[in-house]
Structure 1
Amino acid sequence: MELIQDTSRPPLEYVKGVPLIKYFAEAMGPLQSFKARPDDLLISTYPKSGTTWVSEILDMIYQAGDQQKCLRAPIYIRVPFLEFKAPGAPSGMETLKDTPSPRLLKTHLPLALLPQTLLDQKVKVVYVARNAKDVAVSYYNFYHMARVHPEPGTWDSFLEKFMAGKVSYGSWYQHVREWWELSRTHPVLYLFFEDMKENPKREIKKILEFLGRSLPEETVDRIAHCTSFKEMKKNPMTNYSTIPENIMDHNVSPFMRRGVAGDWKTTFTVAQNERFEADYAEKMAGCELTFRSEL
């Protein structure tokens, strides 16, 4: 009997200097043939920054607040993940073939790897940024459950890799800064995870204004309720429980784990925090972006 090769935990592969999940790196070639449409909308984030949350908000807006329509398929089908590729699952490009306009698209790619067609078509972008410490903690837990990543190792060693940009998608610092800079010349709505936690309705209204759409107040209330962490965590169309276990093992950790601001305090030691703060100050020097560490 032919042995089935274990496809889990491959090492990261570098594309134009950016470390990526091996299978995602393989998808970068085919992604170059992707053609954006002017009415596409791109959701961009560094991993673990509220991507699924804002994706569900946007799909609910596109469906005029009708939650039943949002239960038509898992979020990764409704909002194709451009660079996604994994054994035994349809790629992002394959999912796109069956996605009617106007399309919602998702990416974590830094600008160096973003298909130029998205910029040429002036596709609108909703970007969400999250406090780096919370991202690091969430990413560490995600590495454990998402088997397409390499073994995360110890928390201390993972944190060092995160600070050095040696995790999948590279440097958080570069990602949040370059997308912020792009917002000066491209239609980008730059949101913050912590603001979304503090006042979801306010941020939903910002999105509506950016899209040039309006919805009744009660519809906005319904979207805020249906896209709360509590509701999304139990919704199989948003919690990634439909993904095969060889890709995401929910027995290790749920995809939607805690979803709070300031969770880093439960994981960082005093020494780690001091080291991180010094590194952060150096790498974010001269940048006008400011992040809240907790609500």
Structure 2
Amino acid sequence: MATITPVDPSLNLKLKKQYAGGIFGEDPNFVQVGSKKWFFPERFQEYSSTYKHFKVRSDDVWINGYPRSGTSVTADICWMLTHKMNFEVAKSTAFNDRSKLFELNTLFGKQSDLIKDAQHQEAFRNLFMSLENDPERRVIKTHLPYELLPDNLLTCGAKVIYIVRNIKDVALSFYNLQSTPTRENFGGNFEDFWSNLETDCLTFAPYWKHVEQGLQPAKNKLIVFYEEQIQDLRKGIKKLADFLEVSLTETQLDEMTDFFSFENYKKVTQGKNFFNDNFEHVRKGQSGQWKKEFPDYLKKRADKWIQDNIKRSKNGDKLEKYLFSE
């Protein structure tokens, strides 16, 4: 198992001030995992062995990617494709009840108010049991890097999808999520958040190592670029259906495309989430939103960080073409 160590005390103190009172708890602590120093709340150490030894089924569908890269909508599309396109169930239930977040337990500190809530305690207790006992084909969403996931995930026959998105859009969307009081309750500004991203002090970071592992080819693995998927949603859904070996009629493909169009899907997901609040989990859903929202004073610094990492990446050409073009 990977070595788990507390982060430097001075860094931990800074992060405590930034995150106190959110889902990490009133007095959060953070750890780094393995040689790549994957960054997590301290509760990760309670579940790391469970994650690594989880029994993957050969008919599983796993959706992986860094947070806010499009994993939720991709997982939901896959759930619909593998569950007879049951639109009524999708309209009446929370999307995270259909495709569960594998590492949900890690994200909540022991002092988090949600941990004290009986309904959420039950959900935490039963997360792995519900997955193990699910009689249907499972669609599992995860943001964990591949080296922390079950060893046989890429070799047992399960379908695995890795999704990537423009890092500036990812950062803005992740900041919006983490700044929400019912989520991480991040108390800093966007520059503080970006600094944490650059220095690998965000949950599931380092970002570039995450993407590097995700882009490694493997049998039964599909790499999806968010920008391509939403540019032609119908084509994107068909690509996922073909990968999952699900046959669609033209009418079914039309129905799926309509259901997952941004405005329709946003209405379906609004207020239906684990937290029972009205947070817009589907916020903008657009490619290139960073051009409107990314602070001008940070663009030069961000571009240098991005380009420096592209040059070091084994997949630099691919990243340059799909993720960071204007």
TM-score (norm 1): 0.86
Residue 80 of structure 2 is aligned to residue 60 of structure 1 = yes
- What is the rounded CA distance, in whole Å, between the counterparts of 2:235 and 2:73 in structure 1? 15
What does residue 13 of structure 1 align with? 31
- What is the rounded CA distance, in whole Å, between the counterparts of 2:78 and 2:195 in structure 1? 34
SS in 1 for 2:152: helix
Q: 1:244 aligns with which of 271, 275, 278?
A: 275
What does residue 6 of structure 2 align with? none
SS in 2 for 1:128: strand
Shift of 1:120: 3.8
Deviations 1:50-86 (A, max 9, x none): 1111112111111233312434632212112111114
Q: Point out where structure 1 has 5 or more consecutive residues left out of the alignment.
A: 1-5
Q: 2:317 aligns with which of 275, 288, 291?
A: 288
What does residue 173 of structure 1 align with? 208
What does residue 254 of structure 2 align with? 221
Q: 1:48–1:139: 8 Å Cα contact kept in structure 2?
A: yes
CA-atom RMSD in angstroms: 2.5
**Relative to structure 1, is the Cα distance of residues 148 and 94 closer, same or farther in structure 2, using a 3 angstrom cutoff?**
farther
Q: 1:192 aligns with which of 225, 236, 244?
A: 225
Q: 1:151 aligns with which of 177, 183, 186?
A: 186
Deviations 1:222-263 (A, max 9, x none): 11111122122211xx34534236xxx64xx52222111111
Question: Percent of counterpart pairs with the same letter?
Answer: 26
AA at the equivalent of 1:291:
Y
**Relative to structure 1, is the Cα distance of residues 291 and 187 closer, same or farther in structure 2, using a 3 angstrom cutoff?**
same
SS in 2 for 1:190: strand
When structure 1 is superposed on structure 2, of 159-168 and 262-271 the one drifting more is: 262-271
Q: 1:20–1:168: 8 Å Cα contact kept in structure 2?
A: yes
What does residue 208 of structure 1 align with? 241
- What is the rounded CA distance, in whole Å, between the counterparts of 1:283 and 1:136 in structure 2? 16
Q: Point out where structure 2 has 5 or more consecutive residues left out of the alignment.
A: 1-20, 109-114
**Relative to structure 1, is the Cα distance of residues 22 and 75 closer, same or farther in structure 2, using a 3 angstrom cutoff?**
farther
**Relative to structure 1, is the Cα distance of residues 46 and 239 closer, same or farther in structure 2, using a 3 angstrom cutoff?**
farther
Deviations 1:89-119 (A, max 9, x none): 2133133134223211111011221121313
**Relative to structure 1, is the Cα distance of residues 8 and 61 closer, same or farther in structure 2, using a 3 angstrom cutoff?**
closer
Shift of 1:164: 2.1
Structure with bigger helix share is: 2
- What is the rounded CA distance, in whole Å, between the counterparts of 2:44 and 2:265 in structure 1? 26
Q: 2:99–2:138: 8 Å Cα contact kept in structure 1?
A: yes
Shift of 1:127: 1.5
Shift of 1:143: 0.3
- What is the rounded CA distance, in whole Å, between the counterparts of 1:231 and 1:147 in structure 2? 24
- What is the rounded CA distance, in whole Å, between the counterparts of 1:26 and 1:152 in structure 2? 26
- What is the rounded CA distance, in whole Å, between the counterparts of 1:18 and 1:63 in structure 2? 34
Q: 1:47–1:135: 8 Å Cα contact kept in structure 2?
A: yes
When structure 1 is superposed on structure 2, of 99-108 and 272-281 the one drifting more is: 99-108
**Relative to structure 1, is the Cα distance of residues 227 and 26 closer, same or farther in structure 2, using a 3 angstrom cutoff?**
farther
When structure 1 is superposed on structure 2, of 285-294 and 37-46 the one drifting more is: 285-294
- What is the rounded CA distance, in whole Å, between the counterparts of 1:18 and 1:133 in structure 2? 20
What does residue 3 of structure 1 align with? none
